[in-house]
Amino acid sequence: MLRGHGGEVYYLAKHLGISPEDISDHSSNVSPLPPPQGLYEHLKKHLPEIERLPEADSESLREAMGIHFGLEPELIIPASGTSEWIFNIPKLLKPKKVIILGPTYSDYADAAKLAGLDKKFVLAREEENFRPPLEELEKIIGPKDLVFICNPNNPTGTLVPQEALKRLVLKYPETFFVIDESYIDFVADESSLVPYIKNLPNCLILRSFSKIYRIPGLRLGFLVISPPLKDVFWQALLPWAVNRLAQVAGVWLIGQKNYVKQVKLFIVQEKKNFLKTLNDMNLPIKVYESSLHFFLLKLMKHNSQKVWHSLLKKYYILIRNASNFYGLKGPFLRLALRETEKNQKLLLALRDVLK
C-alpha cells in the first residue's frame, strides 16, 4: 500500500500529538461542503440495524440507484469504496496488459502489480498542461488489453469530453475500458458515460459516494457494468460487501439532488475567488487549470516535501505532496477547496511559507 494518499489525518494527528479535528484537511478531494443536512440524524435513527446483517447484495441501494440512473439494478454493483473493484477488475478480466492514462491515481498500477500483469503508462505532458494524450494511447492499445482512465482525472483535474471517450471505447471493441468517474458529480451532468453503458459492452464505470457527499469514512462506491459483463462480476461479488449504515446512507443520499447543485454552485464562486487571491499574491508557483475543486500546482523555488511539512507543522494544514504520482517530475502539490474560512487560512499560510 502506498502511504501518501490524501486524507491520512489519523496517522498524522497521532504523530503530531493532536486531535484529527485540529487538522484542516485540504489533501482529500471530497466535497468542500459538509455532508447533506440530515444525514447524521438519519444514520442515528438506523443505528440499531448494525445488530443485524446488512442486505447480502445491497438490493435496496441498487434499486434506488437503478431508478436514479435509469438502469436495471443488476448493472450496478456496490462495494466498500471503488478500491475494491479497482483491485478486482484486473483479476477477473485477465487482460494481456494494463494500460494507464496518467499521471493519475496510484491504485490502478498497484492493482495491475497485484494481479501479476504487465502495465504501461501513457503520460500527459507538463508542457501541454497535462492534456490527456488519447492519440498516444491509441498507438499501444491492443486486443484484450485493460485501459484505466480517470475522468475527471486525479491529480490534474483534466476532463476528457464524453463524446471523445465514447468514440475511443467503441473504436476498440476487443479492449476493456475502466472509466473511473469518482469526481464526475462535480462537473456537468452530461460528462458521464453511465447513460450509454448498454451500448458500450467493453466498458466498466466506477462511481463514488465518498467524494461528492463527503463521506469517505463510510466507504461506499459502485461499479456500473454493461450487460455482457454481468455474469462475470456478479459471480465475484462477496455477500455483505457493503455495511448496513453505508447501505442506508446510500439510499438516502441518492435523493439529495439539491445538495449536489449547491456543491457545484459553491465551487464555481469559491474557485474563482480562491484563484484570484492566489494569483494576486504573486507567489513562485504555477497553477494548472482544473475542471474540479482541487488544483495541481508546481513550486518554482521550493521543495514540495518541505512546504508540505511546514504547512502541517506550523498551521495544522494538510495538503497533498503530489511528487509521488508516477509521471510528475518535480516539486508538485495538490490542494483541494474546503469551506471559505479554511480556504482563506490556507491562502495566508501559503503566502507565509512561500514568501
Q: Are residues 213 and 166 in the same domain?
A: yes
Q: Which domain holds residue 334?
A: 9-36+257-354
Q: Are residues 202 and 329 in the same domain?
A: no
Over residues 187-210, the mean pLDDT reads 94
pLDDT at residue 242 above 60? yes
pLDDT at residue 73 above 90? yes
Confidence of residue 175 (pLDDT cuts 50, 70, 90): very high
Q: Are strands 332-336 and 294-299 parallel, antiparallel or unpaired?
A: antiparallel
286 beta partners: 298
Task: Decide which of 190 and 343 is more confident.
Answer: 343
The whole-number pLDDT of residue 70 equals 97
Confidence of residue 190 (pLDDT cuts 50, 70, 90): confident
Which residues have CB under 8 Å from 341's CB, separation 6+?
none
Residue 196, SS3 per DSSP: helix
Q: Would 118 be classed as within a structural domain?
A: yes
The whole-number pLDDT of residue 262 equals 97
Q: Would 4 be classed as within a structural domain?
A: no
Q: Compute the distance between CA of residue 333 and CA of residue 335 in angstroms, rounded to an integer.
A: 7
Q: Compute the distance between CA of residue 321 and CA of residue 12 in angstroms, rounded to an integer.
A: 14
Q: φ and ψ at 87, to 5 degrees? A: -80, -25
Classify residue 37 by its DSSP letter.
T
Dihedral sign for Cα 84, 86, 87, 88, please: positive
Give the model confidence (pLDDT) of 210-240 as tens digits: 999 999 999 999 999 999 999 999 998 899 9
Q: Compute the distance between CA of residue 45 and CA of residue 94 in angstroms, rounded to an integer.
A: 43
Global pTM?
Answer: 0.96
336 beta partners: 294
Confidence of residue 355 (pLDDT cuts 50, 70, 90): confident
Q: Which regions of 210-262 does DSSP assign to beta strands (E)?
A: 221-225
pLDDT at residue 1 above 80? no
> What's the total number of domains in the chain?
2
Q: Which of 321, 322, 312 is nearest to 346 (CA)?
A: 312
Q: Which of 312, 306, 332 is nearest to 103 (CA)?
A: 332
Residue that finishes a domain, picked among 253, 282, 302: 253
Q: Are residues 238 and 270 in the same domain?
A: no
Cell 480556504 appears where? 343
